[in-house]
Copies of this chain bind each other. A is one copy, B any other.
Amino acid sequence: MGDIFGLRNFGVNLTRLAPGGESALLHRHSKQDEFVFVLEGEPTLVTDVEEITLSPGMCAGFPAQGIAHQLVNRTDQEAVFLEFGDRAAGDEGNYPRDDLEASLRPDGKWVFKHKDGRPY
Contacts and interface: CB of A to CB of B under 8 A. Distances in A.
B2 A35 contact: yes
A59 B7 CA distance: 13
Given A82-B82, A84-B84, A86-B86, A33 B61 contact: no
Interface in A36-65: 37, 59-64
A86 B6 contact: no
Interface size class of A (residues with CB under 8 A): 20 to 34
A120 interface: no
A110 interface: no
Nearest to A63: B6
Contact of A12 (B61, B62, B66): B61
